[in-house]
Structure 1
Amino acid sequence: MALIVRELMEALVLALIVLFVIQISVQNYRVDGHSMEPTLEDAQFLMVNKLSYLRMDLDRLDNLVPFWDSPSGTASYTPFAGSPERGDVIVFQRAGGSDMSFVKRVIGLPGERVEIREGHVFIDGEELEEPYLDRSDRVGDMLCIPHTSNCRVGEDEYFVLGDNRTDSQDSRSWGSIREDDIAGEVWFTYWPLCDAPHMDTLFDACE
């Protein structure tokens, strides 16, 4: 009997650990809008990997982990996993904005100059190939981006756009977003159980 109880307790602890890891590593979102079409459709569900761009506070790590000593001369807040790359589809919240989450594509990286001319994006003067776009919809001529200094992306910032350029609020309106505000990278998508009652209440929405 004692052996059975012990095995049940071990299974319960293992299940709790697995649940904890899942909670901190992934999150579900539901697309609310058409700004990422044709890549993402309205009401489509996303699984977001929150560990894709995990950053570690090395100063805090010094205090939490015995015998850990951060290398001298390193930044106290440094990427642990990786940084966003061009083309990544990410979920984020705008600094100083509402609690609404947004899903967009990373276009410009820190330090790059972004221009949009006749519906085409240029990075440091070179046209960006964007095979994911529906070229039947073209955005108008826009030489300078509001809220960005001379159209250049700041340090630890990213310029993001929706794939549906004619129906998307993005960095053309707000300017670049901070890396600290990124929740994670879209890992995979799946169609929701739309007909199941109240199913959409289990997921966060993102535009």
Structure 2
Amino acid sequence: MKQFVAPAKIFQDRITELCYLGAVSVFESGHVDLVPLWRRVLIGRNPRITLLRAALIGLVCWVTFRHVLLPVRISGISMEPTLRNGSVNLINRLPYWWREPRRGEIVAIRTTGTSVMYLKRIVAMPNETVEIRAGRVFINGEPLAESYVKNPDPWEMPPRRLGRNEYLVFGDNRSMPMELHVAGVVRRDRIVGKAIWQGRPDP
């Protein structure tokens, strides 16, 4: 009589096998070889399948780092102390595919006609009136709490109402004169994504 295993039992046994750190391979000789799970997944035993697997992994990596996670290197001190000059960050494009940017988030902004992106923090949102007095930001007449800003320079900006697709962005290093910052009002379509590492400023 032929013995068979119900599909549910096969699935259960497969899950149990994958729960171990190593996958067990039994050869015809009866020898049991412990193969690391990562090696079995990445390499396998069939060269054709291994080549296909490598191609798929390469394609996934290319799509991920080309269209989803964009690696960037910080150049400049406008975001210090939150983001250090020379540090590396990743820009995640996924969040803004299903929601709008939020105040306080560090975002990547693409400039017109170049591949350069700026990392800045969102200070004011669409349809808000923003003003800066003696280095203090006011939103609709109320002061904005910004714990990430240290020793701000006395910036001044008259009241301005943002459009429905406009955001006001600044760097965290407000000790620099306002004229030295590449910042200001940006349109929504210029915001590429959100920085994965949002930083942790010095106390």
TM range (shorter): 0.5 to 0.7
**Count of matched residue positions in the alignment of Structure 1 and Structure 2:** 151
Closer/same/farther in 2, CA of residues 140 and 82 from structure 1, 3 Å limit? same
Deviation at 1:16, TM superposition (A): 3.1
Residue identity matched to 2:186: I
TM superposition outliers: structure 1 runs of 4+ over 6 Å: none
Does residue 188 of the first structure (1) align with residue 197 of the second (2)?
Answer: yes
Aligned partner of 1:12 in structure 2 is 54
Normalising by structure 1, report the TM-score: 0.65
Deviations, residues 182-206 of structure 1 (Å, cap 9, x unaligned): 121110279xxxxxxxxxxxxxxxx
Aligned partner of 2:83 in structure 1 is 40
Deviation at 1:5, TM superposition (A): 3.8
Residue identity matched to 2:147: P
Deviation at 1:45, TM superposition (A): 0.9
Aligned partner of 1:140 in structure 2 is 154
Aligned partner of 1:169 in structure 2 is 181
Deviation at 1:170, TM superposition (A): 3.8
Aligned partners of 2:82, 2:136: CA distance in 1, in Å?
18
Closer/same/farther in 2, CA of residues 25 and 99 from structure 1, 3 Å limit? closer
Aligned partner of 2:165 in structure 1 is 156
Closer/same/farther in 2, CA of residues 94 and 140 from structure 1, 3 Å limit? same
Does residue 118 of the first structure (1) align with residue 134 of the second (2)?
Answer: yes
Structure of greater Rg? 2
By relative contact order (CA 8 Å, sep 6+), the higher-ranking structure is 1
Deviations, residues 54-95 of structure 1 (Å, cap 9, x unaligned): 2xxxxxxxxxxxxxxxxxxxxxxxxxx111100000111234
Residue identity matched to 1:89: I
Deviations, residues 150-201 of structure 1 (Å, cap 9, x unaligned): 5111121110011111335144xxx4101111121110279xxxxxxxxxxx
Does residue 26 of the first structure (1) align with residue 69 of the second (2)?
Answer: yes
Gaps of 5+ in 2: 1-44
Residue identity matched to 1:85: R
Residue identity matched to 1:125: G
Cα RMSD of the aligned pairs, angstroms, is 2.2
Gaps of 5+ in 1: 55-80, 145-149, 191-207
